[in-house]
Structures are given as structure tokens and as C-alpha cells.
Amino acid sequence: MSQLLEAFAWIGDPTRWSGPGGIPVRLAEHLWYTALGVAIAALIAVPVGLYVGHSHRARGLTVAISGAARALPTLGLVTLFGLWFGIGLTAPILAFVVLAIPSLLAGAYSACESVDPDTVDAARAQGMTEWQILTRVEVPLGMPLLISGLRLAVVQVVATVMLASYIGNGGLGRFIFLGLNLQDYPQMLGGSILVVALALVLDVLLRLLERGISPRGAARV
């Protein structure tokens, strides 16, 4: 318990809230790495997921690949990519992309699949093109699931971004790794608490977005 109190005291220390290695800078770096990883993953996973969900093609393959990707240990990937690309941001961001893809992919294809086939048929009968069905029927109706996939990806990545500090980057992981190696557990725990808090805040915000975004008249998922 006292360790926990010390950790909060560590967070509360005003000297840590300024300067180039202070908490605000590390927090911003942490958010930036998270955003970068999730955004790149979304650029890949969302179009693929929507295609799979809409066309019902290659679903088994997609599920298998994203399932396998989930099993990859991110620290291993960071190290492996680090040996290819050297220290810096490339290696960890790539690893976070791999981490974020499965959730985003699942969100995207289940968004399409969640739409009642009768609704899709009705849209088709009205003369909508496949593109219109996707963008005007499936995506709006499946939006909550799409956002839910995004939420899962963000929470996973934000909790893992500490690994960026493993190979020479910033982020809240700096406190965690430094605290760990110095046996300065208040610092380590303080860094961890900040990561947890950040994950919770992002989770709540995206949940709110998820709720607010269901189109009127659509059944709540």
C-alpha cells in the first residue's frame, strides 16, 4: 500500500510536471506514438476489413491471419524490427501496427456483417451500387462496431506503447524502464499508473463516441 502511496506522491511531485523529461512531454509522446500506430493500422485494416465484410470473401483467411497476429509478442517484434531498422521510432511503430490490426480488422468486418442481410438486399433492390451499399448502409449501421474495434486497438496500443522506450524513444515507458532498472518502484508504478489512467480515459471517450454514433432508428448493438 505504501508503495502505491509513494507512486501517487511521485506523480504529484510538481517538479515532474515540467522540463524536457517531465510527465507532460512523456504523456504527449505516448499519445503521439499511440495515434501513429493506430492510424497506420487503420489505414490497412479498415479497408481490408470492410472489403471482407462486404464481399464475404477470404473471411476465414482474414480471421486466421488476425488471430495469428494477436499471438505475436510485441516486445519480440520490437526487438526484431529494431535489429532491422535500428533504434528509433520505426521499429516500435511497426510492432504497434501489427498489434492494432487484428482488433481493427475484426471491428471492420463485423461492422459489415452485423447489418441485416435484408437491409442490404433492400438497398440493392433500390438500385444502389455496391459502393453505395457499403458507404451509405453498411458503414453507418455498423459504425458502433467499427468504433468498438478502434477502441480495442487504442487501448491495447496505449498500454503497449511503453515498449517504444525500450529502444531509445520517449513515452511513459521511460519512467517504467528507468524505475524498474533502478529498483525505484514508486517511479515505475507512477509511470504505470499514468499509462493505466490514459488507457481508461481513452476507453471512456471512445465508448461515448460509440454510443453517440449509432444512427437514429438503428438497433443498439
Partner 1 sequence: MIRRRTTPTASQGPDHEQDRDRGLFQGAVIGRRSLASAAGVGIIAAGVAACSNEDPLAKDSESAKGGDSSASDGGGKSGAIVVGSQQYYSNEIIAELFAQALESAGAKVERQYQIGQREVYVPELKKGSLDVMPEYLGNLLQYLDEKAAKGTAEDLAEGLSSALPDGLRALPYAKATDQDSYSTTQEFASQNSLKEIGDLAGQKDLKIAANPEFEERPYGPKGAKSQYDVDISVVPVSDSGGPLTLKALMDGKVQIADIYTADPSIVKNDLVVLEDPKVMVLPENVVPIVSEKVDDKGAAAIKKVTDALTTEELIKLNTRSVDDKTDSKTIAKDWLEKKKLLK
Site track for partner 1 across 61-80, x = CB under 8 A: ------------xxxx--x-
Applying CB under 8 A, among 13, 39, 86, 136 the residue interacting with partner 1 is: 86
Q: Which residues contact 38 (CB under 8 A, 6 or more apart)?
A: 96, 100, 104, 150, 153, 154, 157
Binders of partner 1 in range 153-192 (CB under 8 A): 165-168, 174, 177-178, 180-182
Residues 6+ apart with CB under 8 A from 113: 53, 142
Q: Which is nearer to partner 1, 43 or 75 (CB)?
A: 75
Contact assessment for residue 101 and residue 47, using Cβ atoms and an 8 Å cutoff? no
List the grid coordinates of 190: 507512477
Minimal distance, residue 46 CB to partner 1, in Å: 26
Which of 28, 87, 197, 200 touches partner 1 by CB under 8 A?
87
The residue among 178 and 218 lying less far from partner 1, judged by its C-beta, is 178
Residue from the set 12, 88, 208, 213 that interacts with partner 1 by CB under 8 A: 88
221: DSSP letter: -
Residue 147's closest CA among 34, 36, 57, 42? 42
| N residues, the chain | 221
Nearer to partner 1, 31 or 178 (CB): 178
The rounded distance, in Å, linking the Cα atoms of 91 and 84 is 8
User: Which is nearer to partner 1, 79 or 119 (by Cβ)?
Assistant: 79
Site string for partner 1, 7-26 (x = CB under 8 A): --------------------
Closest contact distance (angstroms) between CB of 155 and partner 1 is 14
Quick check: 96 binds partner 1 (CB under 8 A)? Answer: no
Q: What backbone torsions phi and psi does residue 166 show, to the nearest 5 degrees? A: -60, -35
Q: Does the protein bind partner 1 through residue 83 (CB under 8 A)?
A: yes
Q: What H or E segment, with its residue span, contains residue 196?
A: helix 185-213
Dist. CA 108–CA 211, nearest whole Å:
17
User: Is 157 within 8 Å of 96 (Cβ atoms)?
Assistant: yes
Number of chain residues interacting with partner 1 (CB under 8 A): 20
Contact set for partner 1, span 99-138 (CB under 8 A):
none
Binding site for partner 1 (CB under 8 A): 73-76, 79, 82-83, 86-88, 165-168, 174, 177-178, 180-182
